[in-house]
Structure 1
Amino acid sequence: MIRVSRLATVLALGLALAGCAHHKKGKMSVAKLAPPLVTTIGTNAYLWRAALDTLSFMSIAQTDSNGGVIITNWYVNPSVPTERMKVSVTILDQELRADAVRVGVARQILQGGVWNDTSVQASTGQKLEEIILQKARDIRRNAAGG
C-alpha cells in the first residue's frame, strides 16, 4: 500500500511538473534542463535504469528512487546452491559520473544447514559498478540518438 501511494505521489508530481513546462515567463523551462536532470526520480535516470537492468536476474527486495537505493533479495546461483549473494546499489548524484554509484555485496555460504556470512572479493562490487556505469552511458548515448 505504501508503494502504491509513493508511486501515485511521484506520478502526480511528474504530471504537475510536465504541465509547467510550457510556461516561460522569465523562468527556465523544464525543456532547457539537461536530459539526465529531468526525471521524476531523485537520482540520475540513466544510472537508475542501468542498475535495475544489471540486477534484473535477481529479485528486488526494496527500492527508493528518491534516495537512490536498490536492495536485492538473497540470490542463489543454481549452479552453486550452497552460496548466496545480496546486492545493494546506491546512486549518490544526479550527474552521470564514475563516483556517482556505489555497490555493496554480501555473501553467505550454507554450512550444516545454516547460512554463514563470508568474505566477498573487493573487485566484485567494483565490477558491478563498472557494468552499471557502462550501461548508463549506453542508455544515454541511445537516448541521444547515437
Structure 2
Amino acid sequence: MFRRHRTALVVLATVSATLSLTACGGGSARPTADLAASKVTTIGVNAYLWRASLDTLSFMPLLQTDSNGGVIVTDWYVNPQTPSERMKVTVSILDQDLRADALRVAALREVNQNGQWVSAPVQAATTQKLEDIILTKARDLRRASIAG
C-alpha cells in the first residue's frame, strides 16, 4: 500500500512540476524488442504497458478501460494542492510489443476562472514525462517477470 501511494505522489509531483515547464520533452529511444517476452495473448495489447499504465494512473478516477483496444481514460482529477486546476488523461497502447512508440498519452487541463472551468494548455513535457514513467515501470515489470 505504501508503494502505491509513493508512486502516486511521484507521478503527481511530476505532473505538477512539468505543468510549469515551458520546454518540450525530448523523444524516446526505441528499445530493442524481445518478441517472445513482450508479446501478449490474453489481452489485445502489451500486458506490461497495460499494467504499468493502470499503476501509474491509479491515483486518478478511471472512466473507461478497454484492455482489448488498449485505451484508458481517466475522469477529471483535481490535485488537492492546486484546487483551481484539473487534469484528464487518456492512455492509448497501440501494439502488442513493449516499445516506446506503442504508447501514447494525451492530457487535457482546465483551470477554474470565476467558477467556470476553462481549457488551458498542457505542456508537452507533461505527457512526455507520463509516457517515460509508464515505459520505465513496464520495463521493470518485464525484467521482474523474466527474473522470477
Normalised-by-shorter TM-score class: 0.7 to 0.9
> Match of 1:76?
78
The offset of 1:34, in angstroms, is 2.2
Shift of 1:145: 1.2
1:86 matched residue in structure 2: 88
> Alpha carbon RMSD of aligned pairs, Å?
1.3
Task: Tell me which structure has the larger Cα radius of gyration.
Answer: 1
Counterpart of 1:105 in structure 2 is 107
- Give the CA deviation at 1:55: 0.3
CA distance in 2, matches of 1:138, 1:95: 15
Give the structure 1 partner of residue 12 of structure 2. none
Quick one: which of 46, 49, 61 aligns to 1:47?
Answer: 49
The code of the aligned residue for 1:62 comes to: Q
Q: SS at 2:91's partner residue?
A: strand
TM-score, with length taken from structure 2: 0.74
Mapped to 1, the partners of 2:41 and 2:76 lie a distance apart of 30
**Aligned-pair CA distance for 1:35:** 4.0
User: Hey, what's the Cα distance between the residues in 1 that align with 2:40 and 2:63?
Assistant: 26
Q: CA deviation at 1:112?
A: 1.0
- The 3-state SS of whatever aligns with 2:60 is coil
CA shift, 1:143, in A, is: 0.4
Name the CA shift for 1:61/1:141 in 2 (closer, same or farther; >3 Å): same
The answer for unaligned runs of 5 or more in structure 1 is 1-32
Deviations 1:109-138 (A, max 9, x none): 011111000001011000000100000000
TM-score normalised according to structure 1 size:
0.75
Instruction: Report the secondary structure of 1:81's partner residue.
Output: coil
Contact 2:109/2:122 (<8 A) preserved: yes
Q: Which has the higher contact order (CA 8 A, sep 6+)?
A: 2
The count of corresponding residues between Structure 1 and Structure 2 is 114
What's 1:145 paired with? 147
Percent identity of paired positions between Structure 1 and Structure 2: 67
- Give the match for residue 128 of structure 1: 130
User: Quick one: distance in 1 between partners of 2:52 and 2:79?
Assistant: 21
Instruction: Extract structure 1 runs of 4+ deviating beyond 6 A.
Output: none
Provide structure 2 residue ranges, at least 5 long, that are not aligned to the other structure. 1-34
Q: Please tell me the residue identity of whatever aligns with 1:37.
A: K
Whichever residue aligns with residue 53 of structure 1, its letter is D
